[in-house]
Chains A and B, each alone.
Chain A
């Protein structure tokens, strides 16, 4: 096992991770040495995908209170209001800072930054660049990182285990893909920014690499996960691949149609229509399909139709160019002329690693940022275009706090760290020696089918119980009957995929258990057997941790400052 040492480690290189790395270097004036660890090349994380934009209060017709209220209402009142009020004030600062680092924003004729309307926001406050908003943010941060000197990049290292000693963060065990060697990183602080978990489901917007690694690594290290039952389905994703058609299109006039040619959203959200909160639009689409008013789309997948023609050719060919290219290139449909087949796809984890408003976890030295972190901003449903500024803001705060922590702390060394890492390494080496009968792809297919069938948009007790039982059986198969054929060390992706699948199993169990326990419907978590929100019993966060007796669920109150819970109507 090789050892590398840095002051601060950043794990994951999407928006939150790159923003954190840049912040550590900036705050410390290039004095702290930063190790940047990613399982992909640094610029290839899935933050390149978001199309629509970033929400921020930048106009005179808008206010921080309005943005905070829209977010809290969208969250179905599960958001911690102190967190929301604090973070929305950082968003415009981040938009401005990124602009100063070179990121293009679409501008109005007078040179001011252009804004558009997004779902469940009361005013247009989403800034954008064509429909490649996430991509330009990623490239700007990657480019900006290259200005600094005191960092090492570790492209294509898969993180395996967090090493803790004396209740403090000490190191991170990884597997270097190109050599197949185990590498232990020792450092004072760690920022976990590994992104989401969409690949747990069959139909998802997420990249193949979005396998929930950070959630599982933290959980296994004893750090709790919070609000994991809340997973967002993005309404308009093109069939059969799950590539999104941005919500911004609906802000510019695109409508949803059922097989009767009807704008069915009028039955579900008469005032906001297609721009209601995402959970409401997604459930409406699936309800239409289930009640026989859907279409058979490509590869026989059931869907409804998105009519983007009202957006107009001018806009479609300029600020929605990526959408038009994707529809033409990937499914052979021209949105200027034809209806686009769409259905909701698993998209975003509202829950995540339990952190406070400063992005600190219960372990000194460990911080989390971006989608994998849950500071309590998103609650039970995230608003579209809140996630990009949230990744930036949380990356910045986590980076700052990790830097301050690392500057105050003296480097220590202990042989126990190495021994712990060796014990962890043996657990992963054991996977290759099981020599059972089932390959990781077969097992993964089974898991995503379970999640799609029982832990989807509509849930009930019987289904969740069945899912939990089958996930636990799969965990046993994984440890006793796994087969990994490829025994080469160099770039062995069968092995790395098998390790990722192990992470997915742990995360799936937490989501399913949290969903089973929460006997109400709130935001993205919908129980057909408990279809109403129940503030008396359930206005609280769920917190899951590992104990000797298995997973334990506890609850924590929601912080309410200005806005008393009310019925959510759009």
Chain B
């Protein structure tokens, strides 16, 4: 299930949902991304996140479908927040359940790596005096490309 929302999320609630009526899962792997200080921007007060309604959900579903094709995983949950966020706020949650840990570890990392390069979200850094759109990072492209090997 995919949710794009302004509201915060509760990681424990998401973990509990994976375990409901799923006696066949033996592993849940989850990742939570946070707003953090960025490089030399120690004056950062938060971030603004924009997305492309409709296309973002389609792009995320395509990434999840690819993960299902590659690994024997059970459920996938992706939550991505949009709008204005403060320092240390939760931005993104990716959770994957499976019978054994290897599949959920790998699929969680795969989904997160492709979310960074394929899903239409844009971050803007906010300080008390300015706002600047974040530039893409080559390291994110490299992380996604290593799954093609």
A binds B: no
Binding site for A on B (CB under 8 A): none
